[in-house]
Chains A and B, each alone.
Chain A
Amino acid sequence: MADAVVKSDPTEALIASLAMPDATWAKPAREDALARVRTMGLPQRRDEYWKYTRPDTLTQIGAPKAAVLVMDEAPMFDEVDRLRIVFVDGVYDAEASDDLSLEGVTIERLAAASSDLHWATCVYGVLEARGQTPVARPLAAVNTAFATDGVLIHVTGKPNKPINLVYHHKSETSDAILHNCIKMDAGTEVTLLENGPAAARFNKVLEVEIADGAAFHHIRAQGRDHERRAATHIFSRLGAESEFHSFTMTVNGQLTRNDCVIELTGDDAIANVAGACVGDGDFHHDDTVFITHDAVNCRSRQVFKKVLRNGATGVFQGKILVKAGAQKTDGYQISQALLLDGDSQFLAKPELEIYADDVACSHGSTSGAIDEDALFYLRSRGVPEAEATNLLTLSFLAEAVEEISDEALREDMTVRLAAWLMRHRG
């Protein structure tokens, strides 16, 4: 029976389990994405960029159960004057959200944006599609095809406060697919804050089109729920003299795969992507970054730090591709893990591929334990061992956290990381 054959194919089975929303303007992009999914198939262990991370719980039909964490600390970014847009298990919460009007931006929800001549047509699924070569990212295409909601932000000026996407996880089996698009006009500037786990399992895509001279700032915290699973993608394309800054903090989470795909297409652009993650026990965190330099005199920085204990696993796959003609490229990449015991592991695959001759690229990857000499030095001054270990651990993470330019946000991240270390010591 033909029917049975189709169902035994996991890709077709997953497709059959999902429903494509019928947003008029996004329909062609969704259909194209679906075709991409069919061509690529779902990620598998044998794929080059899935060697270190098992994709099965991300691709299976339905979310594996994830207990809901009862929060015992103040919400993130509480002190910041911001425009909040709240999603609960992937569903927009109008009551908890602020009014979506803000000077310098127009904000619409993906599920509510119905105009046929929508500006987002030139972003939605477009950057994702570009990011499928040379490395296939099927989960992102699944997202484009089936995303149920998200926000579409057109930045036309410099809004006076950040936009905050707040995600709550309330159901143990929620499975969310959210797609956010940002289109920045030339010379504009915006800050996007994201926090919380979007669901028991979530698949999120963020596409950011940055025109000449615009600056995008992104600070993300992925929540503290232990069992949640996440696959996220950021796709961004940068014009001349534009800037992209993204920082992600991950504490806990059974499985996290964060892909970041950046294309520097205009001269003198800057892209910085950083991450700090801390994991204890059943924790697998994978940062996969691909930065393409395709213009002159651009700078990119990747700074990733991981603190792992009790059998936690960290993965870093970072690539800098410098195309022919992308002269004066300055590419920097560092990925480091601090292993607080012998059970934890860090798997790193740093890559450089360079086709221009006048470039300065460097990459480094290390993993190691706490520096015993530094620990003794601190203890000899009276600092108790646990406190000294935490101080050294925070200082290890600091290099990534310092990528956040806003001092208050940097401090907030540091406080959260310190609190995690206090909860997970010894």
Chain B
Amino acid sequence: MLSIKNLQVKLEDEDKQILKGVNLEVEAGKVHAIMGPNGSGKSTLSYVLSGKGGYEVTGGSAHLDDIDLLDLEPEERAAAGLFLAFQYPVEIPGVGNMTFLRTAVNAQRKARGEDEMSAAEFLKVVRAKAKDLKIDAEMLKRPVNVGFSGGEKKRNEILQMAMLEPKMCILDETDSGLDVDAMKLVADGVNALRSEGRGFLVITHYQRLLDHIKPDIVHIMADGRIVKTGGPELALEVENNGYADILAEVA
């Protein structure tokens, strides 16, 4: 489903190579996790896949099924089914959360040649999904992420994901800043979306999220490369021993 081949990325304005040849295949129906030390390039990978400016792809490719992602505008990638839950969700003063969600849902439908969702239908769906994530009506009315706590922002990301029903979901440290109960809510939200046709790439530092969202494959990223790939036991190894052993082993 998501196929990344030898992806190399540098900063646009600086002579700094961040991704140094990333290879990664996420199959439909599977959950892959990426762990790795701070600054290893995990967020950069997620940004480059979703089309953020400021980076220059110097080599390699990234496809979603047979679509060349790197060729597309960010909104086209989204319409093609790619979704990124941001490590740091952005605050947008003045734009109501509801307006934001409805605009996004309908923009994607329009891009795919589908009918827009009626206001009534939208309201019904969003209320139900918000309830599952314990997002109250008041939060839906507020401007996007403005005044939201860290955990509320992360739940709001999952709400967007639930509304947009993407086929490839990238979650960048969605667990950071969540209390134990919120972690469970978010994990339930993700698990509810797990299906045969959908792939997940979960970036995290902690085993705890992976207790709830059981990954099929775990990758370790270091210095702009995937340096090791294994099963769920790899995450436990990191949890217990840190990265030193793994990095020494691959060096």
Contacts and interface: CB of A to CB of B under 8 A. Distances in A.
Contact of A372 (B50, B53, B144): B53
Interface string A376-394: 1111111111011001101
Contacts of A395: 92-95, 143
B60 interface: no
A391 B73 contact: no
Interface in B83-122: 83-84, 86, 89-95, 99-100, 103-104, 107-108, 111
B160 to A, nearest CB: 6
B51 A398 contact: no
A383 B75 contact: yes
Contacts of B94: 392, 394-396, 398-399
B1 to A, nearest CB: 18
A374 B92 contact: yes
B107 A384 contact: yes
A384 B91 CA distance: 19
Interface residues on B, range: 20 to 34
B218 interface: no
A381 B95 contact: no
A379 B92 contact: no
Interface in B111-146: 111, 143-144
Residue of A380, A384, A388, A399 with highest tally of chain B CB at under 10 A: A380
B73 A381 contact: no
Contacts of A381: 78, 100, 104, 107-108, 160, 164
Interface residues of A, number: 23
B74 interface: yes
A381 B103 CA distance: 9
Contacts of B104: 378, 381-383
Residue of B78, B108, B143 with highest tally of chain A CB at under 10 A: B78
Contact of B73 (A373, A377, A379, A399): A379
Nearest to B143: A395
Given A377-B92, A395-B94, A382 B53 contact: no
Contacts of A372: 53
Interface string A70-86: 00000000000000000
B52 A376 contact: yes
B7 interface: no
Contacts of A388: 75
B79 interface: yes
A387 B103 contact: yes
A376 B95 contact: no
A384 B77 CA distance: 11
A403 B103 CA distance: 25
Nearest to B111: A382
Given A382-B75, A385-B75, A392-B95, A377 B103 contact: no
B90 A373 contact: yes
B51 A387 contact: no
A379 B160 contact: no
Nearest to A397: B94
A387 B160 CA distance: 18
A336 to B, nearest CB: 12
A387 B92 contact: no
Contacts of B79: 382
Residue of B83, B93, B164 with highest tally of chain A CB at under 10 A: B93
A169 to B, nearest CB: 33
Contacts of B83: 380
B78 A376 contact: no
A391 B103 contact: yes
Contacts of B107: 381-384, 387
B25 to A, nearest CB: 23
Contacts of A399: 94
Nearest to B80: A382
Contacts of B164: 381-382
Contacts of A382: 75, 78-79, 104, 107-108, 111, 164
Contacts of B111: 382, 384
Contact of B78 (A371, A373, A380): A380
Contacts of B99: 391
B100 A378 contact: yes
A40 to B, nearest CB: 42
Given A395-B92, A395-B94, A380 B50 contact: yes
A385 B144 CA distance: 18
Contacts of A396: 94
Interface in B42-76: 50-53, 73-75
Contacts of B52: 376, 380
A384 B74 CA distance: 8
B159 to A, nearest CB: 12
Given A391-B103, A392-B95, A379 B90 contact: no
B63 to A, nearest CB: 18
Interface in A346-387: 371-374, 376-385, 387
B95 A391 contact: yes
A10 B234 CA distance: 86
Contacts of B144: 377
A373 B74 CA distance: 12
B92 A392 contact: yes
Contact of B74 (A371, A380, A391, A394): A380
B90 to A, nearest CB: 4
Contacts of A377: 86, 89-90, 92, 144
A310 B8 CA distance: 37
Contacts of A383: 75, 103-104, 107
Nearest to B89: A377
List 6 tightest A-B contacts by C-beta distance, closest first.
A395-B94, A382-B78, A381-B104, A382-B108, A379-B74, A377-B90
Given A383-B104, A395-B93, 17 more contacts: A374-B90, A374-B92, A376-B52, A376-B53, A379-B74, A380-B75, A380-B84, A382-B79, A384-B73, A385-B75, A387-B103, A387-B107, A391-B100, A392-B92, A392-B94, A395-B94, A395-B143
7 contacts: A376-B53, A378-B92, A381-B78, A381-B164, A382-B75, A384-B111, A391-B95
